[in-house]
């Protein structure tokens, strides 16, 4: 689920306590980290302090119309308001529908393969120990072991179930690295729904194996001239063209409400399992959670459960590309400006005229020119720290 970088000031000058297994090992540059970590992993450092009661469902669901301060919201044409209102009503209904929740739990267990392990990375832990043998205990939340190879299916299977419940016959979605496309195709295959995935031509060349897998799962893959942002525009356009039978399955924490709230809710199982597994493994919460930041689905999935646990530090890592001053990066929260895109207000990489700039990262999944409004609100409040 995430890449991580220990070459940051967050790991310096922290006092070592026997009950908090954090070390003061020298900072090591990113190239020295193992190069074969799976794309879908989360990084945690454990803590043996007392636990706090898990967040209640009423605290998880956003009841502010998708607004996080001035960010988020629903900036769409009037023709979409009714459809989004129906989707929001259905979303709120299934959260309290025992039959739906039971079906989702079964699908997550038997089809997706949850719960995923919280794996103790022994060799990586040893790598960061100092001369006195002190250092962080590093755990990886193995979301790469889900069906489809990523965290994306947590949300895709739930939204596909909602679509079928609403009588929709066809699913449209956009994908960048192909992980959301594979997840959506897998969900549609299970539920006998037609599936069309829009993908940038550049990304299709980079991720040919994922394109093949989507097709094997029965999806139609439409090439779009451009990258993920262009594919997203085409998917939304296809949805708007037939609101009665099509369902737009969002995979990112970006877009008009309730799409980001749905993604966050269905991905929050990552953090819930992490809390439970931490209790089982060391009897407490992690000290630090680290997740990469693309558009925000995996980070919110891990962070949301721990938002109210002030003693758990949350760190998001953005892709700096060739450097923040190079103009070739994907550090939206660090170098972006406020704007409205794809139906929501957020921070965007844009030029002086408000045109979206092409982000850059060697990792297609984190190469995004915009990030969800909730993550920026957490940044402003200081609850989540960001580095690149």
pLDDT value at residue 335: 66
pLDDT at residue 16 greater than cutoff 70? no
Measured CA to CA, the distance from residue 334 to residue 322 in angstroms comes to: 14
Q: What is the pLDDT of residues 82-126, one digit of tens each?
A: 999 999 999 999 999 999 999 999 999 999 999 999 999 999 999
Half-sphere exposure of 336 (CA within 13 A, CB side): 29
The pLDDT assigned to 22 comes to 34
For residue range 289-325, list pLDDT tens digits in order: 999 887 788 999 999 999 999 999 999 888 776 666 6
Q: Contact, 301 vs 271, CB < 8 A?
A: yes
Q: Residues 228-244: what's their mean pLDDT?
A: 92
Distance between CA atoms of residues 70 and 33, nearest Å: 38
Q: Where in the chain is the domain with CATH 3.40.50.1100?
A: 77-112+149-258, 117-145+264-386
Q: Is residue 366 over pLDDT 70? A: no
Q: Mind giving me the DSSP string for 152-168?
A: HHHHHHHHHHHHHHTT-
Integer Cα distance of 256 and 63 in angstroms = 14
Q: How far is CA 119 from CA 54, 116, 167, 299, 382, in A?
A: 22, 9, 40, 18, 29
For the domain spanning 117-145+264-386, the CATH number is: 3.40.50.1100
| Domain range 77-112+149-258, CATH architecture | 3-Layer(aba) Sandwich (3.40)
Report pLDDT for 241: 92
């Amino acid at each position: 689920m995430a890449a991580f970088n220990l070459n940051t000031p967050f790991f310096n000058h922290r006092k070592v306590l026997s009950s908090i297994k954090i070390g003061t090992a020298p900072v090591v540059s990113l190239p020295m980290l193992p190069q074969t970590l799976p794309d879908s992993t989360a990084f945690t450092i454990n803590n043996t302090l007392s636990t706090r009661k898990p967040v209640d469902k009423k605290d998880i669901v956003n009841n502010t119309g998708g607004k996080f301060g001035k960010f988020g919201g629903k900036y769409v044409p009037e023709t979409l308001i009714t459809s989004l209102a129906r989707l929001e009503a259905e979303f709120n209904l299934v959260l309290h529908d025992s039959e739906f929740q039971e079906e989702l739990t079964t699908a997550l267990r038997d089809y997706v393969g949850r719960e995923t392990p919280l794996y103790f990375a022994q060799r990586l832990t040893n790598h960061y120990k100092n001369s006195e043998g002190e250092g962080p205990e590093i755990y990886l939340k193995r979301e790469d072991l889900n069906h489809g190879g990523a965290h994306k299916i947590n949300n895709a299977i739930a939204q596909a179930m909602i679509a079928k419940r609403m009588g929709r016959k066809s699913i449209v979605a956009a994908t960048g690295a192909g992980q959301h496309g594979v997840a959506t195709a897998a969900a549609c295959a299970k539920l006998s729904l037609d599936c069309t995935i829009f993908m940038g031509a550049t990304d299709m060349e980079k991720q040919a194996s994922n394109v093949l897998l989507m097709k094997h799962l029965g999806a139609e893959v439409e090439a779009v001239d451009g990258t993920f942002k262009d594919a997203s525009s085409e998917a939304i356009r296809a949805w708007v063209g037939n609101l009665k039978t099509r369902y737009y399955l969002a995979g990112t924490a970006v877009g008009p409400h309730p799409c980001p709230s749905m993604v966050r809710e269905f991905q929050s199982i990552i953090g819930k399992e992490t809390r439970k597994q931490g209790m089982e493994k060391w009897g407490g919460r992690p000290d630090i959670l680290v997740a990469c930041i693309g558009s925000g689905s995996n980070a919110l999935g891990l962070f949301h459960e721990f938002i109210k646990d002030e003693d758990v530090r949350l760190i998001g890592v953005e892709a700096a590309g060739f450097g923040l001053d190079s103009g070739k990066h994907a550090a939206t929260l660090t170098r972006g400006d406020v704007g409205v895109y794809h139906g929501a207000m957020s921070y965007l990489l844009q030029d002086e005229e408000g045109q979206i700039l092409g982000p850059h990262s060697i990792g297609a999944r984190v190469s995004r020119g915009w990030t969800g409004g909730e993550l920026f609100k957490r940044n402003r409040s200081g609850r989540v720290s960001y580095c690149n």
